[in-house]
A and B are shown apart, each in its own frame.
Chain A
Amino acid sequence: MKKQLLATLIGLSFAATTQAATPSVEEMWEIIQKQQAEISTLKNQLNKNDSRITETEIIAEATISAVEEIALAPAASNKTHIGGYGELHYNNLEKDDGSGDKDEVDFHRFVLFTSHQFSDSIRFFSELEVEHSIAGDGQVGEVELEQAYIEWDMANNKTAKAGLFLMPVGILNETHEPDTFYGTERNAVEKNIIPATWWEAGAALSGELSPGLSYDVAAHSGLFLDDGEYKPRDGRQKVGKAKADDMAFTGRLKYTAIPGLELAASLQMQTDMRQGEGEKIDGTLFETHIAWQRDDFQLRALYATWDFDDAINSIKAGADEQTGFYIEPSYKLTDKLGVFARFSEYDNTVGSATDSAIEQIDLGLNYWLHPNVVFKIDYQNQDNSSGTGSDGVNIGVGFSY
């Protein structure tokens, strides 16, 4: 039995030795042929994979481009823009002579901007405002169209405007979003002398004379002083069926070549503030200002003066000259927190025998929760010779978008 097993094992191992021996040439040829076929198949597959990868890359690129196009399309094709701003104020003021106080809360302004780009060079811009929250018969507020004009870039450095637009005068008149200035209420000088916010209907041309020196010239509707009125602010017709017997002209030169600095001067002329009613009164406004920002420090100073025909003195003595100025240094303690002080003085009857100037000191701070959202608090001290100046605290919140 053992012998038999041994013989079988020897037989098997012999057979294995015979099989492991070098294959014949024919066998080799067969193997090579088989391998060659396999290489060809693999090569084909590789080529197919390569072209598939290229194809995938093309598809990926096309997909990415399409996705980007779709993702970026709304921003690029949106030709109509909506923006706005608003400010809510709380005033707690007391008169110097104790004759009265003001303790009220007021949504002073709510504004919607709408603009439309007709083409690269032609656009429309508008500002619609609700003042003091509610308007209508016997209500305290107003609904006002403050801007509505077509702007056309005639050439690279020339832009023409037609419609209802803001006068190129002062610092606040054209840029008055609450997050752009200090103090809850707008300064009294630009309000009572210039008078901001001031818009008229007409045509204007703007451009650059040299880098950093720009001009604005405008021909437009004028102010109208009705019987008994003498303050420019009362003369605003707001382009509502406005008397257009006499038009007015405004020009401004602005220098902004140095970073952080703006120097500007405006001149406005009107030949008859009475618009043909009664004795003619001509008026000329001269305004100049500086706005200078250096790191965290900012200084704003403005001077404005109206020179009217002496005939205005028969309406109000001394009203032939109406002048005001303010100086406002401010400092940003952090990115979000800024403090300011403002000294203003204005007088709507400079030529009168009595002292009629109004002086005001404001101290306060702005806190920007977001670059376009601001909280304000300030203390005001107003003095005039009749003792009717208002002192107290103003608090506000404002935003723009």
Chain B
Amino acid sequence: MFNSLYRNLLNNLVSKVVFAGLLTTTLLASPQLSAKGVYQSGPDFFAEVFAQQQPEAGVLWLNSSIRQQAEKILGRKVLGLRVRYQHSAGKTAWILNEIGKEMPITIGVVIDQGKISSVKILAYRESRGGEVRYPAYMAQYQGATLTDKYKLDKSIDGITGATLSVWAVNKVAALALYYHSQAMPQPESTN
């Protein structure tokens, strides 16, 4: 009895030491990467997008037809009355929020002449699926346009176990393309 108790204790102790060692190594080895949190503020995002230009602030009012289409794209109610954006020479930049599984993901989308020129995750708050912010994932959206069914014309390879986060980014990318088409009816127009 005492013998088995002692053995158990010893085993537990050895395992604990091994585990603590593993933990310490992992903690020390991991560099300071941010898996969750705010990566870039809105003003910094706009400043980066329009580095060489003087962008103008625009407001897209969500009239009933724009709202209806936006709701179709997102598959949910759209709250708010207007969407603010920045634009210069036919290029627009949007910051939109969409819930992945439970928490909102803040996504910056840049559209140039009706095509996505970049998508960037500005803040990620979900426990899983943080991979969407990697440049390799974001690069998949480059050049995407809107089909006549208001979907992206490119297929996006997802993340196992975080499908909802990928869907959220897909929806926001499609929505930004649609908003762009409403804000800039003529591709060449600057207003």
Partners in one complex: yes
* Minimum C-beta distance from A206 to chain B (A): 9
Q: Is B51 an interface residue (CB 8 A)?
A: no
A246 near B11: Cβ-Cβ < 8 Å: yes
A217 near B131: Cβ-Cβ < 8 Å: no
Q: Mark A272-310, 1 if CB is under 8 A from B, else 0.
A: 100010001000000000010111100000000000000
Q: Is A83 an interface residue (CB 8 A)?
A: yes
Pick from B111-119, B132-140, B176-184 the stretch touching chain A.
Answer: B132-140
* Minimum C-beta distance from B103 to chain A (A): 8
A271 near B102: Cβ-Cβ < 8 Å: no
**One of B8, B23, B36, B134 near A212 (C-beta < 8 A):** B134
Residues of B contacting A219 with CB < 8 Å?
Answer: 16, 19
A246 near B33: Cβ-Cβ < 8 Å: no
Of chain A, the residue at the smallest CB distance from B14 is: A271
Known: A156-B36, A157-B35. A247 touches B134 (CB 8 A): no
Residues of B contacting A5 with CB < 8 Å?
Answer: none
* Minimum C-beta distance from B77 to chain A (A): 9
A72 near B80: Cβ-Cβ < 8 Å: yes
Of chain B, the residue at the smallest CB distance from A214 is: B35
Q: Is A260 an interface residue (CB 8 A)?
A: yes
A217 near B22: Cβ-Cβ < 8 Å: yes
Of chain A, the residue at the smallest CB distance from B37 is: A156
* Minimum C-beta distance from B105 to chain A (A): 13
B22 near A208: Cβ-Cβ < 8 Å: no
A276 near B4: Cβ-Cβ < 8 Å: yes
A211 near B29: Cβ-Cβ < 8 Å: no
Pick from A126-134, A251-259, A319-327, A354-362 the stretch touching chain B.
Answer: A251-259
Q: Is A337 an interface residue (CB 8 A)?
A: no
A68 to B11, CA, bound (A): 60
**One of A64, A81, A259, A262 near B82 (C-beta < 8 A):** A64
A125 to B128, CA, bound (A): 13
Of chain A, the residue at the smallest CB distance from B151 is: A335
Residues in A114-157 with C-beta less than 8 Å from chain B = 115, 117, 120, 123, 125, 151, 153, 155-157
Q: Is A159 an interface residue (CB 8 A)?
A: yes
A67 near B81: Cβ-Cβ < 8 Å: yes
A260 to B125, CA, bound (A): 21
Q: Is A7 an interface residue (CB 8 A)?
A: no
A115 near B102: Cβ-Cβ < 8 Å: yes
Q: Mark A48-78, 1 if CB is under 8 A from B, else 0.
A: 0000000000000000100110011001000
A208 near B160: Cβ-Cβ < 8 Å: no
A174 to B129, CA, bound (A): 13
Q: Mark B11-48, 1 if CB is under 8 A from A, else 0.
A: 11001101100110011011111111100000000000
Interface size class of B (residues with CB under 8 A): 35 or more
A122 to B27, CA, bound (A): 20
* Minimum C-beta distance from B58 to chain A (A): 16
- Most chain A Cβ neighbours within 10 Å, of B137, B160, B163: B160
A295 near B19: Cβ-Cβ < 8 Å: no
Of chain B, the residue at the smallest CB distance from A259 is: B157
Q: Is A45 an interface residue (CB 8 A)?
A: no
**One of B12, B26, B82 near A247 (C-beta < 8 A):** B12
A261 to B163, CA, bound (A): 13
Residues of A contacting B134 with CB < 8 Å?
Answer: 211-212, 257, 259
**One of B80, B137, B155 near A295 (C-beta < 8 A):** B155
* Minimum C-beta distance from B97 to chain A (A): 9
* Minimum C-beta distance from A46 to chain B (A): 27
A246 to B131, CA, bound (A): 36
Residues in A167-184 with C-beta less than 8 Å from chain B = 171, 174-175, 180
Residues of B contacting A351 with CB < 8 Å?
Answer: none
* Minimum C-beta distance from B152 to chain A (A): 12
A155 near B32: Cβ-Cβ < 8 Å: yes
Known: A156-B36, A249-B15, A294-B157. A210 touches B102 (CB 8 A): no
**One of A83, A156, A260, A371 near B33 (C-beta < 8 A):** A156
A159 near B127: Cβ-Cβ < 8 Å: yes
B37 near A247: Cβ-Cβ < 8 Å: no
A249 to B22, CA, bound (A): 11
**One of B15, B23, B155, B159 near A256 (C-beta < 8 A):** B159
Q: Is A393 an interface residue (CB 8 A)?
A: no
Q: 10 closest pairs, A vs B, by CB?
A: A260-B157, A156-B34, A291-B160, A259-B157, A71-B79, A262-B160, A271-B11, A175-B161, A157-B33, A157-B35
14 residue pairs of the A-B complex, CB under 8 angstroms, read A68-B80, A117-B103, A156-B33, A156-B37, A175-B160, A211-B33, A212-B131, A217-B19, A247-B15, A259-B157, A260-B159, A262-B160, A272-B8, A371-B167
7 new A-B contacts at CB < 8 Å, known A157-B30, A262-B161: A68-B82, A156-B37, A158-B30, A174-B161, A208-B33, A247-B15, A259-B159
